[in-house]
Amino acid sequence: MSVLPVETSGTMFLNAVMLFLVSIEPYLLSLLSSGSFQASGVAVLIFVSEAYALDLAGLTSIMGLLAHQLTIEERKLVKPELVGQYRRIRNVQYLAAFLFAVSALPPFWTWEILGTPARFHLWYGILVFIWISRLSGRSNKVTLTG
């Protein structure tokens, strides 16, 4: 079990920003899922999809920053044998944040795969990547303890 000190100003700021990003995520997703691909509503849909991508990039980068706080060995917030696991989690979160931010670029809306903007397919790929990395981390934990 890790203990992240919440009384520091940096951690409090990250938690406040993350709370804001979490609160707007369902609204953006609702707009995105109910959006129209017709010519009149496509500009709003493009903006909402870019905002959603940046929202997810912000959320995952904050989770990476919080995991990074746990990896600082001098602070001794986690057991030394867990530092490597938290570094892997941090690196996956940073990579996912970078890919979500890249998906907000305009070409990922104009490029299409099976009639759907490439942005959406990239998001699915990122989520599968995160899911697989978590599963592989659990199998490593079982191997270490078993």
Q: Where are the domains of the chain?
A: 9-145
Residues whose CB falls within 8 Å of the CB of residue 69, separated by 6 or more in sequence, listed in order: 4, 11, 75, 77
pLDDT of residue 145: 46
- What's the whole-number mean pLDDT along residues 61-86? 81
Give 5's pLDDT tier (boundaries 50, 70, 90): low
pLDDT of residue 83: 79
d(CA 111, CA 119): 8
CA atoms within 13 A on the CB side of 32: 20
